[in-house]
């Protein structure tokens, strides 16, 4: 299943979340260097952070909130190609521009690093670039996992797969038993991620509710009484055990 992307730096000083460690070595030095080129930005729900093909002069990691990466065809069809949850990294060191629209779907805080100095630091600090390679490989795995969802799963399975991903990223997640969380996406955004229409998303959410796989309080608040049943509905064999 989708891999939880570890964040770039460990315990990023004044970030409100505890980033996971890059590795044990040299932390102090790197953190000091990263501190210098670091700044925070916050965005409101719905705000576009970067437009596709615009120049993007920073890389960043999500501190709180949720953002999406989206591709759009000229005729308006859109496909979401990435979901950025807290601790996820975004940005393409070595590339000038953004490849996709990046949109905040909830209020969002990002911890940004100016690109030029970040790249310089990357050149000088091998293990940062190894860490970045690691993270990019994780993203590639997640993208390919999603290709299976888009290409071969039914509407029902698609919905369950998405709920799975979001549920697993909750701070207090345990692989068996109940999970409760807020969906960070509208029905339309879910549809764009899953290659469906919003009507189909709505119908399948209702179907899962009627089947007792989930229960809903309002539009966004979800309770999953039994993760095993949800995974079954997702057509998912893996137990998520190889998540990092």
Partner DNA sequence: CGGGCCGATTGATCTGGATCAATGAGGCGA
Partner DNA sequence: TCGCCTCATTGATCCAGATCAATCGGCCCG
> Binding to its own copies by residue 26, rule CB under 8 A?
no
**Interactions with its own copies, residue window 130-149 (CB under 8 A):** 130, 132-134, 136-137, 139-141, 143-148
- Helix then strand count (H, E) for the chain reads 7, 11
CA 150, 56, 60, 130 dihedral sign is: positive
Q: Which residues contact 159 (CB under 8 A, 6 or more apart)?
A: 190, 194, 201, 204, 205, 208
Nearer to DNA by Cβ, of 121 and 159: the residue is 159
Among 12, 56, 132, 205, binds DNA (CB under 7 A): 205
Rounded CA separation 91/98 (Å): 8
Cβ at position 235, least distance to its own copies in Å:
6
Nearer to its own copies by Cβ, of 51 and 180: the residue is 51
**Interactions with its own copies, residue window 144-183 (CB under 8 A):** 144-148, 150-153
Among 115, 156, 168, 169, binds DNA (CB under 7 A): 156
Cβ at position 1, least distance to its own copies in Å:
12
Give one DSSP letter per residue of 91-117, joined into a string.
--TT-SB-SSEEEESS-EEEEEEEHHH
Nearer to its own copies by Cβ, of 32 and 147: the residue is 147
Rounded CA separation 225/83 (Å): 24
Interface residues toward DNA, by CB under 7 A: 154-156, 186-188, 195-203, 205-206, 216, 218-220
């Amino acid at each position: 299943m989708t891999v939880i992307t570890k964040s770039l730096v460990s315990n990023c000083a004044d970030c409100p979340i505890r980033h996971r460690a890059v590795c044990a070595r040299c932390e102090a030095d790197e953190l000091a260097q990263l501190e210098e080129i670091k700044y925070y930005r916050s965005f409101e729900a719905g705000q576009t952070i970067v437009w596709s093909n615009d120049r993007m002069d920073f890389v960043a990691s999500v501190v709180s909130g949720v953002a999406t990466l989206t591709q759009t065809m000229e005729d308006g069809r859109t496909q979401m190609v990435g979901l950025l949850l807290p601790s996820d990294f975004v940005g393409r060191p070595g590339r000038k521009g953004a490849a996709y629209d990046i949109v905040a779907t909830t209020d969002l805080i990002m911890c940004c690093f100016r690109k030029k100095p970040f790249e310089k630091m990357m050149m000088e600090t091998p293990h940062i670039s190894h860490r970045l390679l690691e993270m990019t490989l994780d993203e590639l795995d997640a993208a390919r996992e999603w290709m299976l969802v888009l290409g071969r799963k039914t509407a029902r399975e698609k919905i369950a797969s998405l709920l799975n991903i979001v549920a697993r990223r909750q701070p207090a997640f345990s692989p068996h038993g109940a999970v409760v969380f807020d969906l960070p996406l509208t029905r339309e955004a879910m549809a764009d991620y899953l290659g469906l229409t919003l009507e189909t998303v709505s119908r399948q959410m209702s179907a899962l509710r009627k089947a007792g796989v989930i229960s809903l309080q309002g539009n966004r608040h979800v309770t999953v009484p039994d993760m095993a049943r949800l995974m079954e509905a997702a057509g998912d064999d893996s137990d998520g055990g190889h998540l990092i």
